[in-house]
Amino acid sequence: MTQGPREGSLFAYTLFLLGSAFMASNAVIGRAAAQVVPPVGLAFWRWLVAFLIVLPFAWGGLVRHRRVLLSRWKQFLALGALGMGISGAVVYMGLEQTSATNAGLIYATSPVLIFAISALALGEAVTPRQVAGILLAMAGVLVILTRGEIEALLGFAFNRGDLLVLAGAAAWAVYTVLLRRTGGTPLPVVTQFAANALSGVLVLAPFYAWETLSGHPVVPTAETALRIGGVALVASVLAFLAYQKTIVLLGPARAGTALYVSPVWVALLAWVALGERLQTFHLMGVLLILPGVALATLPAAPRPVTRASEA
């Protein structure tokens, strides 16, 4: 039996909300894991477990497109370094020193960074509305970086953890732009995901070995497995599948607005799971970042079609 329009819309928007919550869980679980699992080890095992979860579904595509994948090995390693390395391990390093709420709000600027990099690197046109959105969102990030204190700005006294998360958001933006420019034969989304995850594992492996040998190994405990399983299954595989399905049901423009909802989920989950409370500077940041992201990235309303006036 097929779903009616109302049931289909309810399912689509339920999936939309769940997908944005799955995305948001990475900052919260990463913060919870900060004192249990070393950051590079968390990123390495996150993507290895995620790769193994999707491998049965991606195996056929990996075999079928092996020549394309091998011919682009440098590109996939670059994507792995940006999307799984810097946007993974470096963000987890930041979460050792900042709150999940801060991280979620800073990461919410990723769409703006993607747009800005596309404009600079690819020459995409920029409207005054979009420039205003970029400036507004960046002002919101500055409020969070300084905790709303002008003295911190004058003395450049920023939290190191916040800066690391910002670096991770910038790396994710570059990763997304490079992903858009992928040429050649299109790959199935599950095949692309598996290839990117494996590339991330390969890039992270030597740094994970160095972290382990320097005295910070991943200790195999039930708590460690729970943290790694959470970021691998919920924040990686389920977030990916929900996002891809939402694109099919709602279209890419509306599906992409999940990034605007994620900070709300981060704040809520961080409050419930970690006891973090919203501060005044968080609210100030939200009031600047979310409208800024919307102005910079949402498409303009279509102009009404006017008919020539009759003589």
Is the residue at 15 inside a domain? Answer: yes
Q: At which residue do the structure tokens 């992903």 appear?
A: 179
Mean pLDDT of 205-227: 94
Range(s) of the domain holding residue 64: 10-108+163-275
Residue 241 counted as domain residue = yes
Say if 83 falls within a structural domain.
yes
- Structurally, the chain folds into a number of domains equal to 1
In a domain, 125, yes or no: no
The angle at the Cα of 132, spanning 178 to 118, to the nearest 5 degrees, equals 10
Which of 4-13, 169-178, 249-258, 301-310 is the least confident region? 301-310
Q: Tell me whether residue 151 is in a domain.
A: no
In a domain, 114, yes or no: no
Least confident among 61-70, 101-110, 121-130, 195-204: 121-130
Alpha carbon distances (Å) from 283 to 110, 138, 141, 255, 298: 19, 15, 12, 25, 22
Residue 222 in any domain: the answer is yes
Give the residue with greater pLDDT, 272 vs 122: 272
Show Cβ contacts of residue 116 under 8 Å, excluding neighbours closer than 6 positions. 134, 173, 296
Q: What percent of the chain has pLDDT over 70?
A: 82
Mean pLDDT, the chain, integer: 81
* Stretch among 110-124, 141-155, 281-295 having the lowest mean pLDDT: 141-155
Which of 298, 189, 198 minimizes the C-alpha distance to 245?
Answer: 189
**Amino acid identity for residue 8 in this structure:** G
Per-residue model confidence (pLDDT) at position 271: 85
Is it the case that residue 202 has pLDDT exceeding 90?
Answer: yes
Residue with more model confidence, 246 or 184: 246
Is 130 a member of any domain?
A: no
Min mean pLDDT across 14-28, 47-61, 238-252 is at 238-252
| Overall size of the chain counted in residues | 311
Q: Kindly tell me if the per-residue pLDDT of 172 is higher than 60.
A: yes
